[in-house]
A and B are shown apart, each in its own frame.
Chain A
Amino acid sequence: MTPAGVLAAGAASGDLFVAQNVFFGVIALVMIVSAIRCVTTRNVVHAALWLVLVLAGAAAQFILLGSEFVAVTQVLVYIGAIIVLFLFGIMLTKASMGDDDSVAGEKRLMAGLVAVLLAVVMGIALVDSYSDTRVVIDEPQRFAAVSDAIFSQYIVAFEAVSVLLLAALIGAIVVARKE
């Protein structure tokens, strides 16, 4: 979603969403700084905590777009579960205080390459699909609408993802239990 989309939404409903645009900028700035710190810090725990800020920023952006369900799910799944598992795993194994120079290994070049590649591909895909589209946001998205869409229009994809997750779950147990 681009600021242009939010702007257009404001224009469509007759007034400019000034507050939304200001907050979009502020949150985006926080997200960018946190994302950069996340990959440049030499402490793994700090990196995970910077990632929390990035993900919380994404949740806040979803709220600005009126997609409350996605925002809350972002908090529940990413901050409440995935980051907690990250931190739990880091602290259970090796959680040195201070800087750890082994973090800045020779993998940096490859990681940077992958990041640039991903940014280019996703950027082109987004611009190509949505270049002229204007998203109109009249009211917050309702939960009922989300569930109706999931269980009618996207039911096949939903079931496929559930089976995939179940398979991953069983696979994890099998790998962990090999005797």
Chain B
Amino acid sequence: MIGVLSELSYWQVTSIRVGAGLVAVLLVAGTLVYAHLFKMVSFMQSRLGPMEAGPYGSLQLMAEIGKFLQKEDIVPRRADRFVFKAAPFVVLTSTFLLLVVLPGGPDAWFISNDLGIYLAMAVSSVSVIGILMAGWGSASKYSLLGGLRATGQLIAYELPLLLAVVGVVIQAETMNLQEIVLAQANGEIFGWGAIGNPFIITQFAGFIIFMIAMQAELTQTPFDMPVAESELVTGYMTEYSGLRFLLFFIGEFATAGVFSAIAAVLFLGGWYVPGLDPADNLFNVIGPLVLFGKVVVLTFLVFWVRFTFPRFREDQLQRLAWKFLVPLALANIVVTGVLKVVV
């Protein structure tokens, strides 16, 4: 840990980490909603977006949160009360657990061990249970259909997501995200080490597969059949209002941020910027900001696609996953493995 942190007792370090986790989820989710959902899409559509609350509408989000908190927390009469009420928390738990493996600097991490990306892939699948709970617990056909669609999609795209990561793991020779960052920072491209070796260059196919699968995992357009508003109202979220809808909403954008952060760590060098020594203590301060900058760039891509493409049909979605992404990811693993041994 950082010099200062090592002098603190266990509970103090733990509270700092919990606080950092909350900031990383809420602040990132808020920034993404404001910068991308409110402003970026507005500019793309030649309008101003929210302008009234705060300078350039920057406090619009606070107003929205206030609005949601005031709304009545409605539970449908035939709904399964406990399952219905617990579902958003299960989804949000998965988001927080994903965050745990992310490194923010040479000493600024939550956990740094072999679990790494394996743990991230495991806990990301827990959110499916929350979505199924929401879909079934609502006692509504729209919710149930949305939940089933979401599950089918999340299962189908978890495979290419995992397989895309394997190429990076082979190249970095570790599943520890911190060491994956260091492998990129200390790497060389044919003996030229000025920018390290960000894996987006050697694992470009993996990066593309990861971003597509991530788009589907986040159920963003063109993969938003689970919440297709013209057919299913808002899918598994249909019956939710007030605080619980807000939780789903935060979960959606926080997960977009965390997944983008994982992509940034795997393919863009994480908290490292070229030209500095990766062991520099400076990175404990600017590292999280660098990572956040990369997250903003990657989420920009996610939301750009979201607001540009029309929705896939269900069979097109499954065909893309099983007949294109999975074979491509497997080929990428074979090529990476052979090159790893040969070169």
Contact = CB atoms under 8 A, between A and B. Distances in A.
Interface of A: 45-46, 49, 52, 68-69, 72-73, 75-76, 79-81, 83-84, 87-88, 91-92, 95, 97, 140, 142-144
Interface of B is mostly: helix
B118 A88 contact: no
9 contacts: A68-B115, A75-B123, A80-B122, A83-B129, A84-B151, A87-B151, A88-B151, A88-B152, A92-B148
Interface stretch (B131-139, B238-246, B291-299, B320-328): B131-139
Contacts of A140: 113
Contacts of A49: 83, 129, 133
A63 to B, nearest CB: 10
A72 B144 CA distance: 29
Interface in B141-197: 144, 147-148, 151-152, 155, 158, 175
B125 A84 contact: yes
Interface size class of B (residues with CB under 8 A): 20 to 34
Contacts of B139: 97
B108 interface: no
Interface centre among A69, A87, A88 (most CB of B within 10 A): A87
Given A68-B114, A72-B115, A84-B128, A91 B122 contact: no
B114 A142 contact: yes
Given A84-B125, A84-B155, A72 B118 contact: yes
B295 to A, nearest CB: 24
B304 to A, nearest CB: 30
A79 B151 contact: no
A68 B176 CA distance: 13
A45 B126 contact: no
B129 A91 contact: no
Given A72-B118, A84-B155, 6 more contacts: A49-B133, A75-B125, A87-B129, A91-B147, A92-B148, A143-B114
B175 A143 contact: yes
Given A72-B115, A91-B135, A79 B126 contact: yes
B128 A80 contact: yes
Contacts of B247: none
B106 to A, nearest CB: 21
Nearest to B122: A76
A53 to B, nearest CB: 11
B113 A80 contact: no
